[in-house]
Structure 1
Amino acid sequence: MARFFKPTKRTVSDTKHKEVTVTRLDHLGAGIAHLDRKPVFIPGLLPDERALIQLTENKKQYARAKVIKRLTNSPERITPQCPVYDQCGGCNLQHLSHSAQVDAKRQSLGELIAKFALADGPEKTTPLMQDNAVTGQEWQYRRSARFSLRVEPGQALCLGFRKEQSKDIVDIAHCPVLAASLNDLLPPLRALLNTLQGRRNLGHVELVEADNGPVVLIRHLKPFSDPDMTQIQQFADNQRVMLFLSPAPDEVNQLTGDAPYYEVEDLKLAFSPKDFIQVNRSVNEQMIAQAMSWLDVQPEDRVLDLFCGLGNFSLPLAKRAREVVGVEGVDAMVQRASENAALNGLKNTAFYQGNLEDGIASFSWAHEGFDKVLLDPARAGAAGVMTQVAALSPSHILYVSCNPATLARDSQVLLQQGYQLQRLGMLDMFPHTGHLESMALFTRA
């Protein structure tokens, strides 16, 4: 599509400091205040806090601002655990108590669905939210992370996370939301990378906590020398890690160790360190259990799992259903899901690669129809397939979402096609961040 203009931010000529009071948080965790009835989004402020602010962006419908001075503190404000919290772009809610984070996300989800998904539907009120959000431990919950690397001439290697909306890297010695086993790897990993002859050719490092041990992936732009390879091998042996090298974006070569996997519902799911897996082990297990309960899968059901990945939902569904069809856009993930089904002795599954926006009805696997459908799309949602999903006319549709805005948008299609929103729940997959995972169950009227 041709692009004839580049949108630009409206410059802010008014640099005066303004006093505001925050009324609530938006769905990304920023405080919302109002100036002349216009909403102003202010990161770092909490409900009921007063502050002096300065506008950084001023548009017709809304504005953004930064805090100059906080005048009052919310009783829910706490001291962040991370020493570089004000610099790192990973977390943005460590200043809010965890219980208040959960409450705010539940409220934000309910308001978004009520405002955008139910306005023209058969229901006019916020659906009954699940009484308790699905939660896990609030610290050391991340079982995977990517670390950026920077090497300046004459300086020690910088290993850390990028600043928010910046290419600058914040050096990280310890991350409070990262799994303990991965934090323990950071000092020896830093020491290894600092001593490599080819350290100037390093790209990034990915760490994953598999159920059978830690995984390290090193992205490198040029081949390592023999001495470097010896040091890397010694590091892997000493730290007992499964080590992978990635000489190209789409190439992953295992150097040491077994194949990594994680377990859920007595199932073993193998994965590559480049594959997407849910970062929060505890919440993922609870999420799967809740999905199975809400869908109420029966032994005679034929179930469709869209955006199935490596089988995170497909395999637990297959333990309950007559047949499960998983569809995924990435061929490598289709292969991984098939291998995982075979690994677990599940013979009632079939996995296919396909562009769902081409039309579900055109695929042979759709001709028999489905009793129930589960979909777990990326942040962009599933706008291109919602009408087709409704046309399959399943009794239950379960939508797992990592973006409440696209969930609200996509829900409108199902409501307009005669489905009703029966259950809605928040999943606390990413404590201390504004990211909000949710689950919505629709049933045919």
Structure 2
Amino acid sequence: MPPSCNWCAIPWRPRRGLTGRPSWRPGRLPDRSMADPDFLVLDIESLDPEGQGIAHHQGKVVFVEGALAGETVRVRIVRRKPTFDKARVDAILRPSSQRVQPPCPYFGVCGGCSLQHLDTAAQVAVKQRTLEDALAHIGKVRALQVLPAIQGPSVGYRHRARLSVRLVVKKGGVLVGFHEKASSYVADMQHCLILPPHVSALLAPLRGLIGGLSRPDRMPQIEVAVGDRATVLCLRHLEALTDDDLNQLRAFGARHGVDWWLQPRGPDTAHPLDPARADVLAYALPAWGLRLPFRPTDFTQVNPFINQVLVARALALLQAQPHHRVMDLFCGLGNFSLPLAIEAQSVLGVEGSATLVARAHAAAARHGLGDKARFGVQNLFEVDAAWFRAQGRFDRLLIDPPREGALAVARALSELPAEERPRRMVYVSCNPATLARDAGILHHVGGWVLRAAGVINMFPHTAHVESMAVLEMP
């Protein structure tokens, strides 16, 4: 944390070296007229959902990149709009007690993280505030109880990632990493704090590998997927690979203990370089004795440590009993469905992707749950009350939608007669705005009570908010 300068009028200013790492030290104020309209001194009131500081000046909102709530900062206006301005910190005149030294040398340049300058406990508090504000302002509803935040490791947690690849002659060759902040450029990075250490250590060798292939300018990205027993790198290539390219990939994989997949076109074209290793990728839910195979292009949670706690919390809150029928909407690979099948009488998992449903079916059969867990394909953005009636009555409901939320589901459930509604539901969300919208419909139209809600810190050091809510019929 930068020290507070109570003894003099010299501000503490972020200064960046070649890596972009900010260091907090006193510096002289530049000879700049404070009458310059592009420079303002502002008091930061709060943080927005993107992690930017919020201030007001002459009736306009100013969003300040790099500022924290409670700070007094001098900023430079970088963009003016009719109703708001965008600014960046030029100097911190009074730092927040929650400001810390960012642990990553690329913070401020790489766009992968936006909150490393904020204490991790404070990050969680900011996300909880974001959730509560969304529920109050969008859904016009308030949770009766705040759930304890689900937290886990703040480094090395990201087991799924998309690395950009660019041939940049001016930088001396190929860059592999995340995009720079608010840019299409790739950050010049040698390692990454949030990737598992063994994956972070591959960034520099990958630069050399891709640079030595036949068309490094036609290989835009590498998908990273880390399972419990294997790590897969899926190379997107826009031109056919040569035999020498394939040999180099095989040698790299053997040397670094990774499996290569190749993706010449869309996600459905992804395939293993070594067909015998097609099924090595999986993640475990050890509390239920489950192991779920997946492909590197399938959706899975990026943070396996949090996911295990998330599943346990969801099942505990759902309170499914051995005689209950449960429906799991947006079920994916069966992340919640299969543990629920162990605890409840039966589970119906519904998902829009036939590919994921097929994998869920196979996993259920492999674990001897085929008679308790059924799966179906359905576009859940178009369901209505008649569709729910056709599925029969369910005692419990779990919803885990994408960022778009579950608007059609919320409306359809609210139209069902009271006796046909599930008595209790758990809603897992990756977007507090759509959760708030749907919870508002379920509460104000459907009559469910929002019993509890809380955040899940799935993505530490970012402003991304995941959350969970419990709704119950009174």
Deviations 1:218-273 (A, max 9, x none): 11111111111111112222222222111112311112334300001321111000
| Correspondence for 2:402 among 356, 375, 378 | 378
Deviations 1:159-214 (A, max 9, x none): 11112332111122110011112113333333322221232321211112110121
**Count of aligned residue pairs for this structure pair:** 426
Q: How does 1:26-425 map to 2 (within 5 A)?
A: 26-58=48-80, 62-118=84-140, 127-130=144-147, 132-152=148-168, 155-250=172-267, 251-256=269-274, 257=277, 258-264=279-285, 265=287, 266-347=289-370, 348-363=372-387, 366-390=390-414, 391=416, 393-416=421-444, 417-425=446-454
The gaps in structure 2 that reach 5 residues or longer are 1-35
Q: Tell me, yes or no, if the aligned pair for 2:143 and 2:450 is still in contact at 8 Å.
A: no
Q: Tell me, yes or no, if the aligned pair for 1:114 and 1:127 is still in contact at 8 Å.
A: no
Distance 1:382 1:60, change over 3 A: farther
What's the CA shift for 1:140?
1.0
- Which amino acid is 2:341 matched to? A
What's the CA shift for 1:342?
1.6
Which residue of 2 is the match for residue 3 of structure 1? none
What's the CA shift for 1:434?
0.1
Write the distance in 2 (CA, Å) between the matches of 1:74 and 1:25.
Answer: 12
Deviations 1:85-107 (A, max 9, x none): 11111100000011111122122
What's the CA shift for 1:56?
4.2
Write the distance in 2 (CA, Å) between the matches of 1:393 and 1:78.
Answer: 48
Q: Tell me, yes or no, if the aligned pair for 2:449 and 2:471 is still in contact at 8 Å.
A: yes
Q: Tell me whether 342-351 or 277-286 shows the greater mean CA deviation.
A: 342-351
- Which amino acid is 1:428 matched to? N
Q: Tell me, yes or no, if the aligned pair for 1:198 and 1:228 is still in contact at 8 Å.
A: no
Deviation above 6 Å: which 4+ runs of structure 1?
none
Write the distance in 2 (CA, Å) between the matches of 1:419 and 1:126.
Answer: 11
Distance 1:366 1:282, change over 3 A: farther
Q: Tell me, yes or no, if the aligned pair for 1:326 and 1:350 is still in contact at 8 Å.
A: yes
Q: Tell me whether 341-350 or 36-45 shows the greater mean CA deviation.
A: 36-45
What's the CA shift for 1:111?
2.7
Three-state SS of the structure 1 residue aligned to 2:201 is: helix
Deviations 1:11-35 (A, max 9, x none): xxx9432221012222332211122
Q: Tell me, yes or no, if the aligned pair for 2:330 and 2:380 is still in contact at 8 Å.
A: no
The gaps in structure 1 that reach 5 residues or longer are 1-13, 120-124
Which residue of 1 is the match for residue 461 of structure 2? 432
- Which amino acid is 1:102 matched to? V
What's the CA shift for 1:37?
4.7
CA-based RMSD: 2.0
What's the CA shift for 1:361?
4.3
Q: Tell me whether 14-23 or 160-169 shows the greater mean CA deviation.
A: 14-23
Three-state SS of the structure 2 residue aligned to 1:171 is: coil
Q: TM-score, normalised by structure 1?
A: 0.91
Identity %: 38
Q: Tell me, yes or no, if the aligned pair for 2:381 and 2:406 is still in contact at 8 Å.
A: no
Write the distance in 1 (CA, Å) between the matches of 2:119 and 2:159.
Answer: 22
Distance 1:227 1:387, change over 3 A: same
